[in-house]
Amino acid sequence: LLELILEGVFEHLAPAEAVIFLGDEDGTFQRGPSRHTPGAQADHQLYSRTLLHEVADKGRAALVCDTESDARFADSRSLLDAGIRSLLAAPLLTTEGCVGVIALSSQSDFRPFMEEDLELLTSLASVAALRLWTISLLEEASERRRMEAELGLAREIQLALLPEELPQPPGFELYAVNTPSQGVSGDFYQIVERSEGTELALLVADVSGKGLVAALLTATVEALTAVPISQGLPADQSFRRVNMLLCQRTPPEKFATAFLAVLGVADGELSYASAGHNPALVVRASGEVEQLRRTGLPLGLMESMGYEAGEARLLEGDTLIVYTDGMVEAANATGEEYGLDRLIRVCVESRSGSAVEMGGAIEQDLKGFVGAEPFADDCTLVLLGRRSS
């Protein structure tokens, strides 16, 4: 396209030389495509940087009829020695500002530029800028489509990390949902039966950040947690191992909060560890609520970090609720956050129903609260309810 622009300039204005300068992000100009008439002298120093910036800053074309009589070029011996007698420059203006400058020179044995040349070059520069802007928009649209395709593929891979079907241990109900804020999620959950079905391991994790970077870290944390969980390690020991490995593989600013509970299916006993995660909730059949608070720092912050084991027990009618901060920090149009108190209230009000019914009630209330506002962070919700066998 730039070569075609130069071709049009030479056809209509017949300069000795024409150069297109393209602007950088730092405000400087780099010499781009150029063309000169056979026999005319081509020199990279022929154009005054002062003139280029003047044209770009003011957004207006400039005409120098005679460099010898123009005070701006009195000290420019290289320009005068090269025989440059007339200059013409016009900005390439788009809606985002000046993206470049077309500069023309005429030597002593060429005709000098006139006012009508200035008007014509201004028109050509406007058309050229419009074409460049159109191409830029097409490139952005193409890049956006490519990114959307990559995000779609990343989401498919990420969904494959989540359980296709939830286990159904006797006497218990499960509900789980993961909602990304940017196509891919920095949250994930795992629910695994182990020890020949006598135990159920339930993990919810939330890595720092959002988008593709968070999704990559999510895959790392998922891979690191899969081994100790499958080996039957207790929650606190699993987190010690995962934390050490994550510290060795990622910088300190990349970390994850996580909650891991191991349920004894026969008696409802829970052994858990919480790595800096939001407090999990145990909503009793009576309406009382117990918060299972953190037992250590987030994973990936300190290699020597130890984790304590916490204990709880699910009786008939009780429900364990594990969630990520994207849920309680979801805000409505006025900036008010959903909050832990509101989540607890909905859980208590819906405690007599199944885990699926409670999960649906929470989701419906959350969506009604935020309205049309987008979620600023990923949301994950996992419920484990003990019901009659």
User: Does the model's pTM come out above 0.95?
Assistant: no
Three-state secondary-structure class, residue 47: coil
- The DSSP result for 4-41, as a single string, is HHHHHHHHHH--SEEEEEEE-TTS-EEEEEEEE-TTS-
Q: Which two tokens stand for residue 215?
A: 């999704």
Digit-coded pLDDT (tens) for 90-133: 888 887 778 888 888 887 666 778 888 888 888 888 888 888 77
pLDDT at 251 over 60: yes
Query: What is the distance between the alpha carbons of residues 195 and 358, in angstroms, rounded to a whole number?
Result: 29
User: Per-residue confidence at 40, pLDDT binned at 50, 70, 90?
Assistant: low
pLDDT at 261 over 80: yes
pLDDT at 294 over 60: yes
Give residue 202's region: left, alpha or beta (phi > 0; psi -120 to 50): beta
**Helix ranges (DSSP H) in the chain:** 2-13, 49-58, 77-81, 115-161, 211-230, 235-249, 325-328, 340-349, 355-370
pLDDT, position 64? 76
pLDDT, position 208? 86
Top-confidence residue, 159 or 191: 191
Top-confidence residue, 33 or 247: 247
pLDDT at 263 over 80: yes
For 204, residues 6+ apart whose C-beta sits below 8 A from its C-beta are 187, 188, 189, 258, 259, 277, 322, 323, 324, 380, 382
Query: What is the distance between the alpha carbons of residues 292 and 314, in angstroms, rounded to a whole number?
Result: 13
Digit-coded pLDDT (tens) for 333-356: 999 999 999 999 999 999 999 999
For 164, residues 6+ apart whose C-beta sits below 8 A from its C-beta are none
- Whole-angstrom distance between the N-terminal and C-terminal Cα of the chain? 74
Q: Are 61 and 82 in contact (CB under 8 A)?
A: no
Mean pLDDT of 350-379: 93
Strands 172-179 and 379-386: antiparallel
User: Per-residue confidence at 79, pLDDT binned at 50, 70, 90?
Assistant: low
Mean pLDDT of 204-225: 84
User: Per-residue confidence at 247, pLDDT binned at 50, 70, 90?
Assistant: very high
Mean pLDDT of 74-84: 57
